[in-house]
Structure 1
Amino acid sequence: MILTRRAAVVSAALVILAATCAARAADKKYDTGATDTEIKIGNIMPYSGPASAYGIIGRTEAAYFNKINSEGGINGRKINFISYDDAYSPPKAVEQARKLVESDEVLLIFNSLGTPSNSAIQKYMNAKKVPQLFVATGATKWNDPKDYPWTMGWQPSYQSEARIYAKWLLKEKPGAKIAVLYQNDDYGKDYLKGLKDGLGNKAASMIIAEESYETTEPTIDNHIVKLKSSGADVFVDIATPKFAAQAIKKVAEIEWKALHILNNVSVSIGSVIKPAGFANAQGIISAHYLKDTTDPRWTNDPGMKAYLEFMTKYFPEGDKLDNGTVVGYGVAQTLVQVLKQCGDNLTRENVMKQAASLRDFRTEVLLPGITINTSPTDFAPISQLQLMRFTGERWDLFGDVISADVGG
């Protein structure tokens, strides 16, 4: 009799346990690339080619996800980060995107770098309904949830940043004669449009020279010489790291004393300023949204301490002075937040829903006063910047945090 009762109790317990497990299993929702134990994340970076300086971003992200995995993963799931080189070539980016989606079967492609590369894969990603999340480019077109609901940017848009420079110039140097160097692609043209829009009806008279360059050119020295000959007293430098470093060197070599404004994508001390020479970079103006590891004001900052501890433990070979490592750290933290919000609903649709539901989120490396906000109608997570000037061996912030909304 006692054995029968015990058997009945055990049987009932097993039924309850089975029902509970079934209920939990029913609560879990997965798309390709996600399981009870794993989340597959795809990535495309220019580890080679003319924009190879940006490869440090992908390596930092890999190290950060190793950190997350060593701490137990996200809701118990380990990140499988698969990153491929596209050499900053749009056709190669298409090839790698197809490989990630169709062969590796990733849940999403994260922080793929470059305006040309992302432009090449945007329609494919949206047709496949696979998130193209937090792309590593500030092109304005990534904020288009109506036409491209599976694509979202992360950093402030190029047009917005350029508008801030225009606003500052109109106030500080209203009679400026501006010469512009820009990369001849969507990235460069986006910045140029923002500058012209920001200058408004004064653009035609203030911009007296424009020179575009191709990424296949070994040097842009001849463009710099030509721009100096225009008589401009302001040089707006819209270039990726390799060419930005060349421009800084050449400007100093030919003793062009124009005010030098450098786009944010090339403010890295490690990969741009130091190679170009600290003496050559004095007085350059730019804007930023992330903390600078060389700035002593962050010595006792908890967020900077956490970043430096991460670099020491998980990416000791990485350059702490390279802005790319700070970018990689910050954007990886943002993806982790999105995946945490997803809980056990790891469908591609929910990934985009959570990415579009960030409210006043801060990574540990954002400047004070800058927050990440998104909504179903706003796919531009960061829309604030602060101006800075290069002095000595570091960037000095000045002025207030400025909203960089294109419409603002």
Structure 2
Amino acid sequence: MSADQGIEGNTIKIGSFLPLSGALGGIGSGLKVGMETYIKYFNAELSGEVGGKKIDSIFLDDQFVPEKSYQAVKKLVESDKVFALVGAVGTPGISASMDYIVQKGIPFVYQGSGAPVLYAPPKRNVFPVQPSYIFEGRVMVKFIADHLNGKKIFVVYQNDEAGEGVREGIKEILPDYKRKNVTVVKEVPVDRSMTDFSPVATQIKQEQPDAVIVFAFGGLAVGVVKAAREAGIDFQKIKFLTTYVNSDPIWFLMAGNMWNDIYCGAWASPTTGDYYKNFMRVWKQYSGQKKDPSPYNIAGWIAAETFVEGLKRTQKLFGSITWNNFIKAMETFNEKGGWSGGMAYKLAFKPFNANDKTCRFPQEYLYFVVGVKKQYQLYKQAKTLEELFIKAY
């Protein structure tokens, strides 16, 4: 294995492992379409910025099974000999493969997970992008206290590593709001084996909180919301928040009007101006899709876009693309207040320091959208992104 592997002539080979079939196949497939769209755009219009090199991508289906994730990673690294791993989905498979990835030293850019293991402790070759669930927990409390003026918070959390992350974030920040008397009145776990969420709704009614954090993915979140509606809970009086993982408008198809009034986390920069015009041009020209891009498509776009930004910096700083040069180039993202040149916002990777987890912090900023008439809209009108985004730390 060579630190120059994956570069053959003018081709840079990258690999992704993600669910393309099974229960979560829609998420992985959405990410794949977004990545492919950006890669086609890069190869056709931007490759001159990295010495004329083109990107070739390999996508392996791990079906959201950790053992298959690990085998897919080994194949990509040892058999396909990719230059970098770009784009993965799911905390279990990423966690199962992490020791191997760190041992090999191959660059790993963008993981479809907010698990703290991605940056704490920091790993020199691993560059997480989407916000940590710890960050999201902190931002949710800030939003409830500062924007919704809430004090009593009820937490429904998915009983797994991701759920523990958001709980940790909430616990971290509560002391900052002690003077405002912000408290968590109750925490209730949910898991994928559950089909009856009415006991959760009953407890919410009993506690009468100002806000309910529903940190659960997909059908679990819909189940909690549906049970709360059926229990007669007034979503205008008790505000419901959920994770950015549930930001796809597909939830309006799954839950209908029940999903109205839900505040949902978001982290990709709201697309406006010339960037948005070009993005939509590229989407229509290269995606092969007739519908507008989903959040999963956008996540894939961001994965490829972030990797390419690293390539551009490598070419500019060093003139030759190797693992070491690429990693050093990624470590310049913190300059000028962080990189906001794409859909990510203020990504700020710094030179590696094993004792400083912030050197591999993913995006620290989130904002919220709210369901209105079966579609999302921004939680407030803002003149600048600085006004819109809420910083975790």
What secondary structure does 2:189 align onto?
A: strand
Query: Shift of the alpha carbon at 1:156?
Result: 2.0
Moved over 6 A (4+): 201-205
In the other structure, the counterpart of 1:111 is: 87
Deviation of the 1:65 alpha carbon? 0.9
CA contact (8 A) 2:109 2:303 kept: no
Matching of residues 40-119 of structure 1 within 5 Å: 40-55=13-28, 56-71=30-45, 73=47, 74-119=50-95
Which amino acid in the other structure matches residue 168 of structure 1?
Answer: F
Determine if contact 2:263/2:369 at 8 Å carries over to the other structure.
Answer: yes
Matched, 1:192 2:167: yes
CA distance in 2, matches of 1:276, 1:174: 26
Q: Does 1:273 align with 2:247?
A: no
Cα pair 2:226 2:255 within 8 Å, conserved: yes
1:125 is displaced (CA, Å) by: 0.4
Structure 2 match to 1:283: 261
Judged with a 3 Å threshold, the aligned counterparts in structure 2 of structure 1 residues 272 and 102 are, in CA distance, closer, same or farther, namely same
In 2: Cα distance, 1:222 partner to 1:123 partner: 41
Going from structure 1 to structure 2, the CA distance change for 1:44 and 1:35 (only over 3 Å counts) comes to same
The equivalent of 1:167 in structure 2 is: 142
- Indicate the structure whose relative CO is greater, using CA pairs within 8 Å and at least 6 residues apart: 2
Q: Hey, what does 1:373 align to over in structure 2?
A: 348
Amino acid at match of 2:284: T
> What letter is aligned with 1:71?
E
User: What aligned pairs does 1:124-273 form with structure 2 within 5 A after superposition?
Assistant: 124-144=100-120, 147-171=122-146, 172-176=148-152, 178-200=153-175, 206-215=183-192, 217=193, 219=195, 221=197, 224-225=200-201, 227-228=203-204, 230-233=206-209, 234-257=211-234, 258-269=238-249, 271-273=250-252
Deviations 1:332-386 (A, max 9, x none): 21111111222242221222211221234324435xxx42222114212422222
**For residues 289 and 98 of structure 1, do their structure 2 counterparts lie closer, same or farther at Cα, with a shift above 3 Å needed?**
same
SS in 2 for 1:71: helix
Residue deviations 1:133-189 (CA, integer Å, cap 9, x gap): 222222233224x6521212102222112112112333444541x332222222121
TM-fit CA distance, 1:128: 1.0
How many residues of Structure 1 are paired with residues of Structure 2 in the alignment? Answer: 364
Contact 1:58 1:83 (8 Å CA) reproduced: yes
Q: Secondary structure at the match of 1:280?
A: helix
Compute the displacement of 1:198 (Å).
1.8
Query: Please, which runs of 5 or more residues in structure 2 have no aligned partner?
Result: 353-358
**Greater C-alpha radius of gyration:** 1
> Residue type of the partner of 1:129?
G
Q: Rate the CA distance shift 1:222–1:340 in 2: closer, same or farther, 3 A.
A: same
Change (3 A) 1:388 1:394: closer
Is the aligned partner of 1:388 residue 2:363? no
Change (3 A) 1:218 1:348: farther
- Output one character per residue of 1:108-151: Cα deviation in whole Å (capped at 9) or x when no partner: 1112112222111111101111122222222233224x652121
- TM normalised by structure 2 equals 0.83
Superposed, which structure 2 residues align to 1:339-354 within 5 Å? 339-343=311-315, 344-354=319-329
State which drifts further: 30-39 or 125-134. 30-39
Structure 1 unpaired stretches of 5+? 1-28
